[in-house]
RNA sequence: GGGCGAGUGGCGGAACGGCAGACGCGCCGGCCUUAGGAGCCGGUGUCGAAAGACGUGCGAGUUCGAAUCUCGCCUCGCCCACCA
C-alpha cells in the first residue's frame, strides 16, 4: 500500500496553493484506506466518536467546529501508535424529514437520503479521518431492525411497559415528548420551541428510573463537571421518609406522604393531596364533593405552565375528611391543592407551614394553624415566615420526647421511631421520570408490538423483524400516528393465537436510535445480531466521546441507561459507553443567535473552503478560542491563519526561499542551533499536552511560534542544517492532526516516503529543552523592577546578592536593609522593603 | 427563587498564586511594487517628552506576591424551578 498521489503527473509548483493538493490528498488517503480501522490490527485500540448529525441537508460551520476537535485528537492518537476508530453516520429518523416531506410533497426517505448524500460529500472536504466503511444510517431497515430488537429485549425484561397517564404533548409537532425533551421555564418542545400541553394518553415507557441510582455514579468517568451536575440535578435524588397518616372517619386507607423533613412532623398541622390523588374521591365528604370536583376539574384545565408557576397564589379546597398525625395523634384536616404534584413522591404531603415556605403561604391564605417545632439553639423563633434551617444549631421544640434534640439528629431519630411502630420508613425519591418512547409520527422505527383482542399487547417475534415502515402513508399530522390510517399495514396476526391482530401504530423516539449507534459502529455489517460481541468487547467503552452540552439530560442520560440495561441483559460487558466526554461550544451566528435557516445567519463552510482551503478553515475554527467555549461567528482573522500556512510553506521548502545559504558552524551558529532545537522540543511537549487537553487554540499559537522561530533561523542562515530539518519536520508532524493536507504535501515535497499520518508522533528530548541560562525577574514588594540573567545552578545567596546590588532595587530600598528576600528557585526574586 | 459558570487591550483570546496581555486580527510606520484589498519588516494596554506611574467588572480580605484564593456587590450566560 502506498500513499503516493494517485495521479502520475504531480504538480511541482512552488507557490502555496491549497487547491492544488488538498482534494488530491483526500483521494489518495481514501484509495489507500488510511482511515479504515481494522479489528485485527494488533495495536492498542482507541475508539473516538463525535455525535453524529441529523441529515438536515447542509453542513454548516458548526459541524466543522464540532468534528475538527475530536478529529485532531484521533489523528494524534493514530500517530502515537494506536489503532484508532473514528466513525461517522447519520441520525436520520425524525421530524424534520417528515415536515419537509409534507411541505414539498416528497417522501421522507427520499428527502433524507438526498441530504445524506449531500452531507457525506460536504463532510469529505473536511479531510477528517472518518472511517466511512463503518457508516451507520438509523433509518435503514438493517439498522432499525436492531433498534426494534433492543426494544423487545427491554420489553421482555420488564424494562418497557405501556401505561396511561398525563403526558407532554407538542401541539405543533402533534407528538408526545419525554420529560427530558421539554425545556425551560415555559416548558417548550426541544425541537420546535412550542409550549407543550398535557394530554392523557396510553404510551410506551422505558424504566430508566430503575437505573437512577447507578446513573448518579460517575466513578472513573472523565465527564465535564457541568454535565455531571446537570444529570445529578435532573435525577434529583432526595432522602427522607415515607410516613402513613391514618384517615378519619373510617380509616379507609392511610395516606402515605414523602418528606425530606421527618424532624418537623410535630408541626404537621394539615395534609395536602394532589387533586389527581386516587384517595381524593374516596375520602371527600358529601358536603364537600361539589367544591372538590369543581377544583379538580379546574386544575385539569390549567396548563402545566400555570400550575408550575411559583409566582401564582396558592389555591386549594378542604375535602371534609381528617387524618391523624401519627406522632401527635392530633386530628388534622385534609386539603387538595394543585401545588402538590401527582407525579412526585406519593402525590401527598404533610404540611408543616412553620418550616416550609409553600405550606406557610397556603396556611396563611386559608387560616390554618402554624406551629413551630424547630428553633435556633440560642433561643428565639422566626415568626411570620417559614424557618427552614435544620442543622446542628437548631433544636426541636414542642416535639414530645424529641424536644431539645438537634434538628440534624432528629431526622434519623424520628424516622426510626416511626419504623418501630410501623408507621413509616426511610425512603428515597427521585425527580427523574421514566422515559416516554412512543411517538405519534411516521418517520421512525415502528414499535414491534401487535394487539390481539384475546391476548392484548404481544411482542413481534424476533425472526419477523424488522417491522418495516410502509411507504404509502399519508403522514400529515393528525394527532394520531399516520400508521394508524394504514389498515393493510396494521392488519396482522397474533403471534400467540394466530388470530387477527393489529400493529402498534406509534413509532419509537429517535433518541432510541442514538442510544446505541456507537455500538453498531463496532460491527456495522453484522446481519444476525445488533453487534458482534467480540467487536464491542474489543472497542468499547469509547475512549473519547464529544458533542454538544445541550444533550446533557437527554441523549447523554439515555445512552448510559442503554449500556447499563443491555449489560444487565447479558449483551455487553461494559458499565458505561464512554470513559471521557468533552463538550464543544456552540458557534453562533454573527448576530449572536443560534444559527438557523429562518434567521438567515447560517455560515456555510463551502465558500471559505473554496477561497482558503480546508486546512485554513479547520485551523481557524480551532484557533478562535477554547473549543468548549464556542462563540459568535466572526471570520476576521482567517487571513492570519492562511498567512501562517503560507509561512510554513516557505519555511518547509528552503530551496525555494530567499536566503537559504547554510552557514559555517561557528560559535554563534552553534548557539542558534541550540536555540532552535530547544524551541522545537519544547513545542513537542506543549502541543501534545494542549491537544490532549483540547486546547487547540494554544496548540496552534505554539506552532505559530515555532514557525516564527524557524523563519528567524532561516534568515540567520540555518537552512540546510540538520537542526533546521528537524525543526521543520517536527513542525509538520505536529501540524498534521490540525492541518492534515499541507502537512502531507510538504512532507512529500521534502522527500519523505509514506503518509505523514502514519509517521510517529515525535518525542520531546528533555535534555534539549533545558536552557544554559535563565532570566529571573526581580520584584520589589511584588512589582517587577529588574531582571537577572544567571545559570540554573547559581546559589541562592549569590542571586540575593545580585538582586540587592541592582540599582533599580536600590532605588526602592533607599538605603534601608530589606525586611526579607523571597526566592522561588528558577522563578523569581522578591525583595520586601521594611514597612513603616 | 435555587444551582453552576464567566467578566482581561479596539477585537478573538494567553497567563501551575510568581514578568499581565502569549498567539492572531485590526491599526500605525517602513520596504517592495505601475498599482494593491498581495507579500515582507518593525511598532502597537493607558497616561507621560522621558524617568516613571497606573492597569484584569466594583469593594474588601488572605499573601512577600492575587487576573488567579476568600467574602460581599454589579453585569452577562446556561441549567433547574411549587420536587415536599
Give the per-residue pLDDT at A596.
78
Calpha distance A364→A358 (Å, rounded): 10
Q: Give chain A residues 612-641 with Cβ within 7 A of strand B.
A: 623-626, 629, 631, 634, 636-637, 639-641
Task: Confirm whether any atom of chain B, the nucleic acid strand, is less than 7 Å from CB of A230.
Answer: yes
Which residues is A176 bridged to in the sheet?
A: A169
Percent of chain A whose predicted confidence (pLDDT) is above 90 = 65
Task: Confirm whether any atom of chain B, the nucleic acid strand, is less than 7 Å from CB of A832.
Answer: yes
Helix-, strand-, coil-residue percentages of chain A, each rounded to 5: 40, 20, 40
Q: Give chain A residues 354-393 with Cβ within 7 A of strand B.
A: 356, 358, 361
Q: Which residues contact A316 (CB under 8 A, 6 or more apart)?
A: A272, A295, A335, A336, A337, A338, A339, A362, A366
**Cell matching residue A409:** 439528629
Q: What is the DSSP letter of A546?
A: E
- Sign of torsion over alpha carbons A783, A785, A789, A790: negative
In Å, what is the separation between the CA of A776 and the C1' of B44?
A: 26
Calpha distance A595→A625 (Å, rounded): 18
The per-residue pLDDT of chain A, averaged, comes to 90
Task: Confirm whether any atom of chain B, the nucleic acid strand, is less than 7 Å from CB of A191.
Answer: no
Closest-lying nucleotide for A356 based on CA to C1': B84
More confident residue, A790 or A424: A424
Give the per-residue pLDDT at A307.
63
- Nearest protein residue to the C1' atom of B37, measured from CA: A639
Calpha distance A629→A626 (Å, rounded): 5
Closest-lying nucleotide for A635 based on CA to C1': B25
DSSP element (H, E) containing A687: helix A667-692
Calpha distance A83→A67 (Å, rounded): 19
Do the beta carbons of residue A161 and residue A205 sit within 8 Å? yes
Tens digits of residue pLDDT in A706-740: 999 999 888 888 888 889 999 999 999 999 999 99
**Cell matching residue A363:** 396556611
In Å, what is the separation between the CA of A152 and the C1' of B58?
A: 61
Judged on CB neighbours under 10 Å (0-12, 13-18, 19+), A599 is exposed
**Cell matching residue A407:** 434538628
Cα A219 to chain centroid, rounded:
17
- Nearest protein residue to the C1' atom of B14, measured from CA: A698
In Å, what is the separation between the CA of A636 and the C1' of B33?
A: 26
Query: How far from A699 is each of A542, A619, A648, CA to CA, in Å?
Result: 24, 10, 15
Strands (E) in A348-442, as ranges, are 348-351, 374-376, 394-396, 424-429, 435-436, 438-439
- Give the pLDDT band of residue A810 (cuts 50, 70, 90): confident
Give the per-residue pLDDT at A809.
86
Closest-lying nucleotide for A702 based on CA to C1': B23
Whether the per-residue pLDDT at A503 is higher than 70: the answer is yes
Percent of chain A whose predicted confidence (pLDDT) is above 70 = 94
Do the beta carbons of residue A23 and residue A746 sit within 8 Å? no
Q: Which residues contact A66 (CB under 8 A, 6 or more apart)?
A: A50, A51, A546, A547, A548, A584
Sheet with A774-780, strands from edge to edge, namely: A783-790, A774-780, A828-832, A820-824
Average pLDDT of the segment spanning A440-464? 95
Q: Give chain A residues 783-812 with Cβ within 7 A of strand B.
A: 783-784, 787, 808
Calpha distance A743→A648 (Å, rounded): 9
In Å, what is the separation between the CA of A714 and the C1' of B48?
A: 39
Q: Give chain A residues 391-450 with Cβ within 7 A of strand B.
A: 429, 431
Say whether the peptide bond before residue A342 is cis (omega within 30 degrees of 0): no
Task: Confirm whether any atom of chain B, the nucleic acid strand, is less than 7 Å from CB of A695.
Answer: yes
**Cell matching residue A309:** 408557576
Residue found by looking up cell 399495514 in the block? A489
More confident residue, A707 or A200: A707
Closest-lying nucleotide for A812 based on CA to C1': B52
Task: Confirm whether any atom of chain B, the nucleic acid strand, is less than 7 Å from CB of A461.
Answer: no
Cα A696 to chain centroid, rounded:
19
Judged on CB neighbours under 10 Å (0-12, 13-18, 19+), A48 is buried
Q: Give chain A residues 527-546 with Cβ within 7 A of strand B.
A: none
Residue found by looking up cell 486546512 in the block? A615
Whether the per-residue pLDDT at A704 is higher than 60: the answer is yes
Cα angle A596, A598, A602; round to 5: 35
Tens digits of residue pLDDT in A402-429: 999 998 899 999 999 999 999 999 999 9
Backbone phi and psi for residue A310, each to the nearest 5 degrees, phi listed first: -80, -15
Bases of strand B lying below 7 A from some protein CB: 1-5, 11-16, 18-20, 22-26, 38-41, 52, 54, 64-66, 78-84
Average pLDDT of the segment spanning A615-627? 95
**Cell matching residue A298:** 379546574
Give the per-residue pLDDT at A834.
81
Phi-psi region of A625 (alpha: psi -120 to 50; beta: other; left: phi over 0): left
Amino acid at each position: 500500500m502506498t500513499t503516493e498521489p494517485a495521479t502520475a503527473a504531480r504538480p511541482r509548483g512552488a507557490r502555496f496553493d491549497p487547491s492544488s493538493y488538498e482534494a488530491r490528498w483526500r483521494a489518495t488517503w481514501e484509495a489507500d484506506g488510511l482511515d479504515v480501522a481494522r479489528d485485527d490490527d494488533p495495536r492498542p485500540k482507541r475508539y473516538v466518536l463525535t455525535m453524529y448529525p441529523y441529515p438536515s441537508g447542509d453542513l454548516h460551520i458548526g459541524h466543522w467546529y464540532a468534528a475538527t476537535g475530536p478529529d485532531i485528537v484521533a489523528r494524534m492518537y493514530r500517530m502515537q501508535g494506536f489503532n484508532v476508530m473514528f466513525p461517522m453516520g447519520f441520525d436520520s429518523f425524525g421530524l424534520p424529514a417528515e415536515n419537509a416531506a409534507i411541505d414539498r410533497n416528497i417522501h421522507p426517505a427520499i428527502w433524507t437520503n438526498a441530504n445524506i448524500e449531500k452531507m457525506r460529500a460536504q463532510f469529505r472536504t473536511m479531510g477528517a479521518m472518518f472511517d466511512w466503511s463503518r457508516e451507520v444510517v438509523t433509518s435503514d431497515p438493517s439498522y432499525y431492525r436492531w433498534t426494534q430488537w433492543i426494544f423487545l429485549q427491554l420489553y421482555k425484561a420488564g424494562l418497557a411497559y405501556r401505561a396511561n397517564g398525563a403526558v407532554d404533548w407538542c401541539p405543533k409537532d402533534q407528538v408526545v415528548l419525554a420529560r427530558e425533551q421539554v425545556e425551560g421555564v415555559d416548558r417548550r418542545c426541544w425541537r420546535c420551541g412550542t409550549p407543550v400541553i398535557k394530554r392523557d394518553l396510553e404510551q410506551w415507557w422505558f424504566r430508566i428510573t430503575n437505573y437512577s441510582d447507578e446513573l448518579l455514579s460517575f466513578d472513573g468517568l472523565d465527564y465535564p463537571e457541568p454535565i455531571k451536575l446537570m444529570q445529578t440535578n435532573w435525577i434529583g435524588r432526595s432522602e427522607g421518609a415515607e410516613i402513613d397518616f391514618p384517615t378519619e372517619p373510617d380509616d379507609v386507607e392511610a395516606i402515605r406522604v414523602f418528606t425530606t423533613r421527618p424532624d418537623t412532623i410535630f408541626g404537621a398541622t394539615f395534609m395536602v393531596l394532589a387533586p389527581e390523588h386516587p384517595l381524593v374521591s374516596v375520602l371527600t365528604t358529601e358536603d364537600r364533593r361539589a367544591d372538590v370536583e369543581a377544583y379538580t376539574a379546574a386544575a385539569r384545565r390549567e396548563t402545566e405552565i400555570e400550575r408550575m408557576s411559583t409566582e401564582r397564589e396558592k389555591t386549594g379546597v378542604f375535602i371534609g375528611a381528617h387524618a391523624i398525625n401519627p406522632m401527635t395523634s392530633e386530628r388534622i384536616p385534609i386539603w387538595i391543592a394543585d401545588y402538590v404534584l401527582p407525579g412526585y413522591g406519593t402525590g401527598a404531603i404533610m404540611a408543616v407551614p412553620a418550616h416550609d415556605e409553600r405550606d406557610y403561604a397556603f396556611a396563611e391564605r386559608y387560616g390554618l394553624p402554624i406551629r413551630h417545632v424547630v428553633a435556633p439553639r440560642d433561643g428565639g423563633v422566626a415568626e411570620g415566615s417559614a424557618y427552614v434551617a435544620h442543622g446542628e444549631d437548631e433544636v426541636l421544640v414542642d416535639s414530645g420526647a424529641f424536644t431539645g434534640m438537634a434538628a440534624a439528629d432528629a431526622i434519623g431519630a424520628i424516622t426510626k421511631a416511626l419504623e418501630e411502630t410501623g408507621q413509616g420508613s426511610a425512603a428515597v425519591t427521585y425527580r427523574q421520570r421514566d422515559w416516554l418512547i412512543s411517538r405519534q409520527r411516521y418517520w421512525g422505527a415502528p414499535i414491534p408490538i401487535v394487539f390481539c383482542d384475546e391476548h392484548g399487547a404481544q411482542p413481534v417475534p424476533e425472526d419477523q423483524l424488522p417491522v418495516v415502515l410502509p411507504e404509502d402513508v399519508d403522514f400529515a399530522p393528525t394527532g394520531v400516528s399516520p400508521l394508524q390510517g394504514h389498515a393493510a399495514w396494521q392488519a396482522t396476526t397474533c403471534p400467540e393465537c394466530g388470530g387477527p391482530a393489529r400493529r402498534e401504530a406509534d413509532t419509537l423516539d429517535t433518541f432510541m436510535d442514538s442510544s446505541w449507534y456507537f455500538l453498531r459502529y463496532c460491527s456495522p455489517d453484522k446481519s444476525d445480531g445488533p453487534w458482534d460481541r467480540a467487536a464491542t468487547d474489543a472497542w468499547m467503552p469509547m475512549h473519547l466521546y464529544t458533542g454538544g452540552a445541550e444533550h446533557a439530560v437527554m441523549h447523554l442520560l439515555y445512552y448510559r441507561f442503554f449500556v447499563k440495561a443491555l449489560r444487565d441483559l447479558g449483551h455487553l460487558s461494559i458499565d458505561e459507553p464512554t470513559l471521557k466526554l468533552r463538550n464543544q461550544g456552540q458557534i453562533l451566528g454573527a448576530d449572536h443567535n443560534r444559527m438557523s435557516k429562518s434567521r438567515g445567519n447560517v455560515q456555510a463552510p463551502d465558500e471559505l473552503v473554496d477561497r482558503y482551503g480546508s486546512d485554513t478553515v479547520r485551523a481557524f475554527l480551532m484557533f478562535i478560542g477554547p473549543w468548549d467555549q464556542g462563540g459568535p461567528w466572526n471570520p476576521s482573522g482567517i487571513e492570519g491563519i492562511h498567512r501562517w500556512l503560507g509561512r510554513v510553506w516557505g519555511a518547509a521548502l528552503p530551496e525555494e526561499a530567499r536566503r537559504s545559504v547554510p552557514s559555517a558552524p561557528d560559535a554563534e551558529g552553534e548557539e542558534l542551533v541550540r536555540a532552535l532545537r530547544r524551541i522545537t522540543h519544547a513545542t513537542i511537549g506543549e502541543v501534545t499536552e494542549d491537544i490532549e487537553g483540547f486546547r487547540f487554540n494554544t496548540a496552534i499559537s505554539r506552532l505559530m511560534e515555532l514557525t516564527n522561530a524557524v523563519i528567524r533561523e532561516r534568515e540567520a542562515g540555518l537552512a540546510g542544517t540538520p537542526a533546521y530539518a528537524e525543526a521543520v519536520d517536527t513542525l509538520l508532524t505536529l501540524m498534521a492532526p490540525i492541518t492534515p493536507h499541507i502537512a502531507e504535501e510538504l512532507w512529500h515535497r521534502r522527500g519523505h516516503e509514506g503518509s505523514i499520518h502514519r509517521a510517529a508522533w515525535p518525542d520531546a528530548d528533555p535534555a534539549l529543552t533545558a536552557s544554559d541560562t535563565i532570566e529571573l525577574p526581580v520584584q520589589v514588594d511584588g512589582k517587577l523592577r529588574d531582571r537577572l540573567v544567571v545559570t540554573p545552578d547559581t546559589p541562592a545567596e549569590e542571586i540575593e546578592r545580585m538582586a540587592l546590588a541592582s540599582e533599580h532595587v536600590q532605588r526602592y530600598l533607599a538605603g534601608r536593609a530589606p525586611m526579607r528576600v523571597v526566592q522561588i528557585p528558577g522563578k523569581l526574586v522578591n525583595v520586601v522593603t521594611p514597612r513603616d
